[in-house]
Amino acid sequence: MKSLYLTIITTLACIIVYAQAPLITNVNARKTTSLNGKWQYIIDPYGTGFYDYRFMERKENDREAYWNSDEPTSKTDRKEHKFTDEYTLQVPGDWNSQAEKFLYYEGIVWYKKSFDFTKTNPAGKVYLYFGAANYETDVYLNGKKLGKHKGGFTPFNFEVPDSVLKATGNYLVVKVDNTRHKDEVPTVNTDWWNYGGITRDVYLVETPPAFIQDFTLHIQKGALKSTKNIPVEGWVNCTNWQSTHEVTIEIPELKIKKTFPVTGERVAVRFNLPTAQLWSPQTPKLYNVVVSTGADRVEDKIGFRTIEVAGKQVLLNGKPLFMRGICIHEEISQQVRRAYSKQDALQLLGQAKELGCNMVRLAHYPHNENMARTADSLGILVWSEIPVYWTIDFTSTEVFNKARTQLTEMITRDNNRASIIIWSVGNETPVNPVRTKFMSNLISAARSLDSSRLVSAALEVNYQPGVNKIDDPLGEYVDIVAFNEYLGWYAGLPDKCRTANWEFAYNKPFFISETGAETLGGFHGDSLTRWSEEYQEWYYREQVTMFKRMPDNFAGLSPWILCDFRSPRRNNQTFQEGWNNKGLIDQQGQKKKAFYVLKAYYDEKGLNP
């Protein structure tokens, strides 16, 4: 892997070049300078700061480009843009929740942050790292473009040249555009709020000239026989590897210290752990792992476990697993905002644990890094997904490359998180040969990036008279057949579950990735009254009864959804008002009656898995 890569996308009008340094992982283990806090902003719905009046991209030295100084050189100087402290946004954070004028805004917002900075090591490198920004981001420092990124939920970074970075008075300008487009991932049609902005942390990251870019360790697939002499494998990626002669891996608690010669930028590692406590929901043990070279040293907390499919069962550490799950959107409903912090993760995952969950499906995009790391520490299994959702353009090679890039960035960031057991390549995509080829290629890409986890996607049910068929051709390629079913909400009444018959085309474990009914928290009626808590309660009672008679390859479920969340598709002004209210917890954080129905089932399954 080179220190700089180029992705070239050809359009009818021009060639757009995306230049980005390879993704650095585990940035919190390094020397960082936070750029979080208040950023000045300019709303730019016509892209005036990026395009001139002929709608041509402005040249780098254009004085009216918003990435250049807004300070006039004299009192006669004309400047038609101005950043000011009267207009600020908090970073990290979505812009929609920070001012009423942003609520439905989709378009360009320019951010500006001024800062001083001096390197700790004058010979070292500096990278500008973004946890995520939604969706298209152009980054400029002191009038020089560092690069561009597309994708609203994955991290990216740029190397900052010494010639650009200054000790004082740095002028960082970021253009963020959350406009939806048909040829993007996700596409124009989703069922969640399109929160715009710099939604996750921003750091300056310092590294030595030759450094450890990334590493991963896991138990060798199919090799776990006991908790002694556990075969572990992985790799370490080194930049400027010609000056790095060896890599050392230490696990102090286990008295492990292994050294490997460096003969290229990726160093394969393999060794045995004499003994170890395996990570699981019951015992989420994490070991401090230290990776070092002569010039660099990073640490991470890693759990060791295996996840695999054997026949009709999913096995965690060689033992059958039933996933008591729930879907979660990256949102704090009570504050109507995007979630991002460790405190937010503790709130959402704490609510899931209170429900009796041992697993969460993070829908429908990669959540912030705090979610996976907190799940590691709490012992919660994770399904992590990219937003290949509904009707993206499956005929487009360009769209496929965008999806594959997001998949790569998701896996790269979280490849050491023991909690993540399933990579998902999409949700509810329409069945046709072109789509199946697109999705199966993504599955192959996921396995090439990480063969130690399961790969799946959320499919739909083929409802037929008298039988519900799970026969999507994509089922041939996944490790676990997952599907979304809404018997009793979108199909009949809840008592339809009593006569439901299921037919599976694949002899694999199956997983119900969604099921649910919508209700306005606090609205009550009898069980036949749509939108009432009693209707949702009835729905879950009938579903639970159906779950109990499912075939023995039923591996679990993740109902839709933990908490109510915003969605512009939901326009019943009495019962929705821009909210999808299928949550078991309402907009004010109060548990609905159905919460306790599912909790009782999960408590029973926890005792008798």
pLDDT digits (tens, 9 = 90+) for 117-131: 999 999 999 999 999
pLDDT at 19 over 60: no
218, 213, 362, 366: CA torsion to nearest 10: -150
* End-to-end Cα spacing for the chain: 45
Amino acid identity, position 458: A
With cut-offs at 50, 70 and 90, classify the pLDDT of residue 14: very low
With cut-offs at 50, 70 and 90, classify the pLDDT of residue 253: very high
With cut-offs at 50, 70 and 90, classify the pLDDT of residue 11: very low
For CA atoms 489, 359, 365, 389, give the dihedral sign: negative
pLDDT of residue 20: 67
Q: Which domains, and CATH codes, for the chain?
A: 5-207 (2.60.120.260), 212-308 (2.60.40.10), 325-607 (3.20.20.80)
With cut-offs at 50, 70 and 90, classify the pLDDT of residue 507: very high
Average pLDDT over residues 189-194: 96
Average pLDDT of the chain to the nearest whole number: 94
pLDDT at 530 over 90: yes
Average pLDDT over residues 421-435: 97
Degrees to nearest 5, angle at CA 201 with 196 and 206: 140
pLDDT of residue 243: 87
Q: Which residue has the higher pLDDT, 30 or 608?
A: 30
pLDDT at 12 over 70: no
pLDDT of residue 556: 98
With cut-offs at 50, 70 and 90, classify the pLDDT of residue 174: very high
pLDDT at 10 over 70: no
Helix 342-355 to helix 593-607 angle (10° resolution) is 70
Q: Which residue has the higher pLDDT, 239 or 535?
A: 535
Average pLDDT over residues 525-550: 97
pLDDT at 205 over 70: yes
Inter-residue contact 40 to 66 (CB < 8 Å): no
pTM higher than 0.85 = yes
pLDDT, tens only, 323-363: 999 999 999 999 999 999 999 999 999 999 999 999 999 99
